[in-house]
């Protein structure tokens, strides 16, 4: 299991939310394709995780998002100040901020994202 960004070699951080995949403070996942990325806190690039480490972690992500959504509805949160939330919920919301990007990827826009990455690497 890698712990450093493949682009800038900085530490990717850790999380205590996913037992199956404790690397990375910010994760993005595509449950449909079984892909999981760790978003680098330093350079913001997405590190695709090795295939053998993904499936359980992707399932964990899905479970966690559902849990957070449930709690948020139950408590009537539209938008809550992050500091007022329990630590594991806060982390999940941080991961949830990438849901739009994930949806875009699932809709076949992954190539476009990749192109943008390559531009960033060349620039």
Binding site residues, Zn ion, CB under 5 A: 5, 7-8, 40, 42-43
The CB-of-36 to Zn ion minimum distance in angstroms stands at 16
Q: Please give the structure tokens belonging to residue 25.
A: 């403070």
Coil vs helix vs strand at 11: strand
Q: Using the minimum distance from each CB to Zn ion, give the nearer residue, 37 or 65.
A: 37
d(CA 24, CA 14): 5
Q: Please give the structure tokens belonging to residue 75.
A: 């408590």
Distance from CA of residue 18 to its chain's centroid?
A: 11
Q: Using the minimum distance from each CB to Zn ion, give the nearer residue, 7 or 77.
A: 7
The CB-of-110 to Zn ion minimum distance in angstroms stands at 19
The CB-of-95 to Zn ion minimum distance in angstroms stands at 17
Q: Using the minimum distance from each CB to Zn ion, give the nearer residue, 8 or 115.
A: 8
Q: Please give the structure tokens belonging to residue 53.
A: 């480490």
The CB-of-74 to Zn ion minimum distance in angstroms stands at 36
**Residue 27 CB neighbour total at 10 angstroms:** 29
d(CA 38, CA 25): 8
Q: Using the minimum distance from each CB to Zn ion, give the nearer residue, 17 or 47.
A: 47
């Amino acid at each position: 299991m890698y712990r450093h960004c493949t682009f800038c070699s900085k530490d990717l951080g850790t999380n205590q939310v996913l037992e199956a995949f404790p690397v990375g403070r910010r994760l993005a996942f595509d449950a449909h394709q079984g892909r999981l990325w760790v978003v680098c806190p330093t350079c913001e690039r997405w590190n695709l995780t090795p295939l053998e480490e993904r499936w359980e972690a992707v399932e964990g992500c899905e479970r966690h998002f559902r849990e957070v959504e449930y709690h948020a509805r139950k408590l009537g949160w539209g938008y809550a100040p992050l500091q007022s939330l329990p630590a594991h919920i806060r982390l999940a919301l941080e991961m949830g901020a990438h849901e739009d990007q994930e949806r875009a990827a699932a809709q076949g826009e992954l190539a476009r994202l990749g192109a943008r990455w390559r531009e960033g690497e060349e620039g």
